Amino acid sequence: MTILVAYAPRPEGRAALSKGIQMATAQNEKLVVVNASPGGPHKDSSLADTHDAEWVTRELNNSGLDAEFKQFVRGKDAVEEIQELAESLPASLLVIGLRKRTPVGKLIMGSTAQEILLTVDCPVLAVKAR
């Protein structure tokens, strides 16, 4: 099976990557790290730029795991991409990072983490950045 990490270039994304590496090492499983955005004319802060993607790739190479980084920018939202990848692998575990948000922030912006928790069929491990 495979451990899947949903990565965004923020402290909580780095925490998810670190925990994913730890879990894949402990369970001797393949690790897939995914970064996804629908793309479009507006800059998406969840999309890893070249520098971030290179950093993730170095971390995976240094881990010694059977691991890969996938980035999708093809019109689907991140939740849809993560759900499809979790099903197709299949993933034994999905690791996501959480950040603190105000109740108003959750109401206005929604919560990608909450949507993932409600739609993905595999177990989900949510981690916070230190």
Structural domain boundaries of the chain?
Answer: 2-128
pTM for this prediction: 0.91
Express each pLDDT in 56-103 by its tens digit. Answer: 999 999 999 999 999 999 889 899 999 999 999 999 999 999 887 666
Edge-to-edge, what's the strand order for the sheet holding 67-73? 67-73, 30-37, 2-6, 91-98, 124-128
CATH of the structural domain 2-128, one choice from 3.10.450.50, 3.20.20.70, 1.10.287.3510, 3.40.50.620: 3.40.50.620
